[in-house]
Structure 1
């Protein structure tokens, strides 16, 4: 049987089904490639960096204490640092939170208690501890940040379209 469609009475319709299945399979492959390319261009850690930068920058225009959200800032900070292969000392997390040290300590302890952070002793300095995300927190942040990708891509597409 040829790949051309022939409108004959009694023609075997299963050939059409086979071709439709092949087309659907090929479209699935293309969709997977497009998704993989999109994810490679804008990984969750990249989106996390953008959000951190935006949150840091608001303090240039407004009192940053109005926008303090230590838990969110700490989660993003630890996520980005870990994704880039850097260990996170508690003191760095305090600074990244943008709140006083005592407030940051309370929030870190709450995040540890909630199972979002793990704390381990620093290997060389007994006064410090290292923070890391729990597996569930890391996966949750990856999912959430990855879910923002379509929004950012629409913004980029609109920006490119408006320049043309």
Structure 2
């Protein structure tokens, strides 16, 4: 028994080491696979359609208004952003907004809103058209560039 016993123990230790090595190798392989998968870019299976983008713009507008119920409105003064969101959401109706309606969406004083409308026009994000039947009325809509930029932004949000 004296010579055989150490041999049996050594053989058991060798088997344990082989088993442990195999398990560690399997774990390393699984880990490498997960690292490789995590490094791959995540591509959405489907781009959001325009209706989904409009819905998301409406959700953002509603969330922005809701903040004012819980916190002081002065903390959230971004009339240009509110106007861009409102114009994008209104595009579903295929109707431009008049200045009065757009100003009410911005939740800012009329003069401030009008300055922002002028600035958005200079940036070529919106179009202004004088109503031919009532020349006092100016209709506002997103320009093609503004529409494309809003779509790109909303798509990026939905991909996250």
Residues 1:115 and 2:121 aligned together: no
**2:46 corresponds to:** 35
What's the CA shift for 1:65? 2.1
Flag structure 1 segments of 5+ consecutive residues without an equivalent: 1-30, 152-164
Q: Taking structure 2 as the reference length, what is the TM-score of the superposition? A: 0.67
Larger of the two Rg values belongs to structure: 2
1:150, 1:110 → 2: CA distance? 30
What's the CA shift for 1:54? 0.4
Q: Which digits, 9 at most, give the CA deviation of each residue in 1:63-110, with x for residues without a partner?
A: 112101011111111111113322211111100001000100111011
**1:53 corresponds to:** 62
2:136 to 123, 127, 139: 127
Contact 1:43 1:146 in 2 (8 A): no
Flag structure 2 segments of 5+ consecutive residues without an equivalent: 1-42
**2:85 corresponds to:** 76
1:80, 1:104 → 2: CA distance? 18
**Number of positions where the alignment pairs a residue of Structure 1 with one of Structure 2:** 118
Q: Taking structure 1 as the reference length, what is the TM-score of the superposition? A: 0.66
Which of structure 1's runs of 4+ aligned residues deviate more than 4 A? none
Give the CA RMSD over aligned residues.
2.0
